[in-house]
Structure 1
């Protein structure tokens, strides 16, 4: 493995969905803690957006006996576990009346995984879940903390795009469809919180 591949691999690992979600939730906790009405909102968000999706990987090792198409089956496990976690957070938010910002975050993650599932499984249009999951925290960083973050977030997005292409995980089209799905989900969520 050459130095370019190593760099791409590191970027890929740092930008996996649970780590990107964790970065958003932690930055919000320390620098915009009005997002959380109570401490348990933060704890439940970590459980639903970070811990539960991570459990897809050990679960896939336990339940996937046939090694054929293992990577695709792991992706399926990740989609299912993410959908369960994101749905749980949405329900939690409705029951415990979380802030509008927290509602926007949870609704974005929920809509993103639903639309990604429709594209990948129903319409058979391959869209990058990695691209979608890294785009939402970057958008929320800009939304919560302003336009000066466009440049660093743009650099982060470009680096993640480069790593996906370098490692041949996604085509440019698949990456941008995934990112576009996330942007649509953010827009729908921010619009939707006005009616909740």
Structure 2
């Protein structure tokens, strides 16, 4: 029973869904993050739509099709990287607000760090906890100790519990994922000279 609940929680808290919530929460509380409707659309396409494509695309790409969950996971991280990269490029080319550029760059740096950890050092960090930690960080950064931040923090704790109960990740892998996002956030702040 506990394992089934954990599986459901992991499904309904996939990063694209929580990114959509993050973007909506920021739009509701800090409209100045987006200079135009195009900024909002670009954020949704790059952070939500493109990463979601990994799931249906797996069946159409021979290299990943027969590799089950591991193939889906690898394809997801590559397509996620593409989405975040395009977001960062969009922000630079359109002179997006510093606040929106921070979101794009933090997630891009985080996924690069995750790829290095996974592919170069063969250490598995949780992309799920990495993504949701970013949502928490940005909601706290932009809205303070708000109901939005508390809600997302609750989601992060649920993801930790669900991942452990389904044995999808160890506690160390979850912490690594969260830590990489925090590192990505601080690197971005240094590069953009925000704080």
TM-score under structure 1 length normalisation: 0.91
- The question of 1:13 aligning with 2:2 is answered no
In structure 1, C-alpha distance between the alignment counterparts of 2:56 and 2:87, rounded to whole Å: 22
Q: Which residue of 2 aligns with 1:81?
A: 79
- The question of 1:58 aligning with 2:56 is answered yes
2:112 maps to which of 114, 124, 147:
114
In structure 2, C-alpha distance between the alignment counterparts of 1:177 and 1:138, rounded to whole Å: 16
Q: CA deviation at 1:66?
A: 7.7
Gaps of 5+ in 1: none
Q: Which residue of 2 aligns with 1:167?
A: 166
**More displaced stretch, 10-19 vs 44-53:** 10-19
Q: Which residue of 2 aligns with 1:69?
A: 67
Gaps of 5+ in 2: none
In structure 1, C-alpha distance between the alignment counterparts of 2:125 and 2:119, rounded to whole Å: 10
In structure 2, C-alpha distance between the alignment counterparts of 1:66 and 1:90, rounded to whole Å: 26
Q: CA deviation at 1:15?
A: 1.7
Conserved 8 A contact 1:64-1:70: no
Q: Which residue of 1 aligns with 2:188?
A: 189
In structure 2, C-alpha distance between the alignment counterparts of 1:56 and 1:10, rounded to whole Å: 19
The number of residues matched between the two structures is: 193
Distance 1:66 1:132, change over 3 A: closer
Conserved 8 A contact 1:132-1:181: yes
Alpha-carbon deviations, 1:133-181, whole Å to 9, x = none? 1110011111111135565444332211000001110001111011100
2:42 maps to which of 44, 52, 72:
44
